[in-house]
Amino acid sequence: MTQILAALRSPGMMLLALVLALFAQGEHTAQVFASFSHPTNGPQLLAYAFAGAVEVAVLLFVMNGHKTISYIFAGATFATNLVYYAIGGIDLLSVQLAPVLLLSALLPGVIVGYSHTIAASGATQSKSAALPRVWRWQFWRKAATPPHAPDVAVQQSAATPIAEPVTVRDTVQPSARAVALQMADEGCSVAQIAAQIDAKPATVRSWIARHRAKQNGGAHE
């Protein structure tokens, strides 16, 4: 059942239906052409050539995007069908007009509808053909991974120089040593100085001893 539905939706089936409609409508157009150009000889090769050119023109206009012109030709085909039934002896001023209008509109409507459907189907297939084809035997290949943009944070961290860690010895000790020496000059004990600057008493004694040794050496000079 699915295959049957797929076949009915195929462009080939639509084209076959369109050809049948063109043949039927072409007979009407040829009869009208022959009736007014050569009424005594009946339809001739020229009449059928005229009918084929007119009917195929609708499909060509649609395929090339001229939909407005295709609708104009459909209206002209409808009028041609009215003339076809009129020259066949149908009284268009009677109740017979209703079925004549229906029959006259069916073929032009079918031709325009099939033409638009085939044109739309062709455009869809063209878009599908433009997509790259993926072969099943290439399943083992990994999809190409697009290159990722480098992280902004990483770029900033790489561009910004990393400052070297500052130790307590570089920042705290010089100021602590100065405070310790000042407190020693003011007469504070080593224990008081060590507690104040949070340093070891041995360190405080070493600072004071070196400072006094330096002072004594300068005084002797």
What's the rounded Cα separation, in Å, for the pair 146 and 131? 18
pLDDT of 139 above 90: no
pLDDT of 169 above 50: no
Percent of the chain with pLDDT over 70: 71
SS3 for 127-148, per residue? HHHHCCCCCHHHCCCCCCCCCC
More confident of the two residues 46 and 146: 46
What's the rounded Cα separation, in Å, for the pair 221 and 211? 16
Tens-place pLDDT, residues 124-136 = 655 555 455 554 4
- pLDDT on residue 187: 85
More confident of the two residues 191 and 170: 191
- pLDDT on residue 145: 54
CB 88 within 8 A of CB 107: no
- pLDDT on residue 149: 54
- pLDDT on residue 22: 87
CB 112 within 8 A of CB 71: yes
More confident of the two residues 203 and 38: 203
pLDDT band at 86 (very low <50, low <70, confident <90, very high): very high
CB 50 within 8 A of CB 33: yes
Torsions phi, psi of 178, nearest 5? -65, -40
Percent of the chain with pLDDT over 90: 11
CATH of domain 169-220: 1.10.10
pTM over 0.85: no
At 173 the three-state DSSP class reads helix
Q: Where are the domains of the chain?
A: 7-127, 169-220
